[in-house]
Amino acid sequence: MPRRHVAAGALGFALLVSSSACSLSTPTDQPTNTSSSGTTTSAAPTSGTSGAAESTAAQADDRPTCTQVEGKAPRGMAGRMLAVGVTNYESAEQAVDLGVRHLFIGSQTDRSILNGQGDPARSLAALEKRAGEPLTVSVDEEGGLVQRLSEIIGELPSAQQMANTMSPEQVRDLMVKHGKKIRALGITVDFAPVVDLAGGQNVSDNAIGSRAFSADPKAAADYARAYSEGLQQAGVTPVLKHFPGHGHATGDSHMGAVTTPPLEKMQDNDLLPFRELVGVKGMSVMVGHVQVPGLGKPLPSSVNPEAYKLLREGGYGPKQDAPGFDGVIYTDDLTGMKAVTDAYPGPEAAVAALAAGADVALAAAGAVEIPDVVAAIRTAIDDGRIPEDRVRKSVDRTCISK
C-alpha cells in the first residue's frame, strides 16, 4: 500500500495469502456447521531449516483446513473474499460473524487484540476460537516508513537502507528474527516486500521512494527474495507488491489516476522482479491501482481484467517468459483512494476487483459498512458478475490447508 497508509485510520479490508489450496465439496444451498480443530493464531512460529524459499512451507503446513466451506453455495462464501481491517475487538467480532476470515492490523488497530498484548479473552486467539477455524491475520510491516509494530517488536530498516547496508543473506537472517516476532503476535501474513523499482529523479512522488530496494530489477528481485525467505522461515507469508509495478508511475492514487509507462516499456524493467519471483513457492501478490497504457482499457490495474490475466498467464518480460501465477492475488486498498473510488464508489469497488480477477479485496472501510460490502458481493455472485467457479477457485486458494 502507498506510504500514506501509515497514518490511515479506521476499519479496512485486506487480503489473504496461502500457499496451497483445499478442495471444495459439491455445493448445496445449506451451509454446514462443521468446524476445524482448535488450532489458533497463537501457535508458535514454525522454524525453518533451509534458506531457500522453495523449500519452506509458510504457515499453512501445520494449520487445519477451513472446512466450513464444505457444502456451501458460493454466495455463502462472500466474506471469505474480503480481508477486513479492524480497529478493536468489537469490529473484529463483527467481521468474523459475517464470515470474514482475514483480519488486517492497521495503524489504528487497538494493539491489545494481538496475542500476548492484552486480555486473552479479547485476542486474536479468541477471535479464531469464535470463528471455529483458522484466521489469516495480516499487517503492513515493510520497514522504514511503513511499519505498524515498531513499538512492540522494534524498528526495521527501510528496503532502501537494507539494500545499501546489508547483503541479501543478512536481510534473510534479519527477517527470520523479525518474522518470528510478528508470528508470535498471531499475525500470519505480511504485505511485503515491495518489489517496485526506485523510479529515479524523473518520477514524481508516487509513494514508493525508500520503500524500494533498488532501481535495478535484478537487485530488487534478489533482496525481495531474501526478505521473503526470511518471513517464510518464520512462518509468515510474504506478499509481493504492487503488480504490475509502481516505481515509474506518476501521480498520487489518493488524489486520482496514476499512470505508468506503456506496457512494452514495463516489460524491460518494472515487471522483471515479478517475473523472477512469482514462481517461488509460497508467494502471494498484491495488485496496485496503476493504469498501464497498452494493458486493456484505461482502468486501474486492481479492477482491470487484463492485469489479472497478465499475472495469471505470465508471458511478460523481454523474452515473454514469465511463469503464470496461481497463488493468492490481493488488491491494494480499494476504498481510500480516488484512483478507484472516483469510478467505483463504496462496495462496488470490491465487486469490480473480484469480478476482474482478484481473490481477496483489500479496502479501508471508512464510510463503507462491512455488511454492505458482503451483501454487494453476494448480489454480484447471484447475478453472475462474479462467476461461481471464480468464487470456488479463489476460496480454494485462500483456504489454509495442510
Please identify every residue annotated as catalytic: 254, 332
Q: Collapsing DSSP states into helix, strand and coil, what is residue 377?
A: helix
Euclidean distance between CA atoms 190 and 152, whole angstroms: 16
Rg from Cα positions in the chain: 19
Euclidean distance between CA atoms 309 and 10, whole angstroms: 32
Measured on CA atoms in the order 343, 348, 353, 356, is the torsion positive or negative?
negative
* Backbone phi, psi, residue 143, to 5°: 115, 160
For 75, 78, 278, 291, 378, the CA distances from 382, given in Å and listed in that order, are: 7, 11, 32, 29, 6
Euclidean distance between CA atoms 13 and 5, whole angstroms: 13
Map 147-213 to HEC letters. Answer: ECCHHHHCCCCCHHHHHHHCCHHHHHHHHHHHHHHHHHCCCCEECCCECCCCCCCCCCCCCCHHHCC
What is the identity of the amino acid at 47? S
Q: HSE on the CB side for 173, CA within 13 Å?
A: 5
Euclidean distance between CA atoms 348 and 332, whole angstroms: 15
Cβ atoms 310, 316 nearer than 8 A: yes
Measured at the CA of 110, the angle between CA 105 and CA 116, to 5 degrees, comes to 85
Which runs of consecutive H residues, i.e. helices, occur in 253-347? 263-266, 272-277, 305-313, 338-341
The three grid cell numbers given for residue 204, joined into one nine-digit string: 514524481
Euclidean distance between CA atoms 304 and 287, whole angstroms: 10
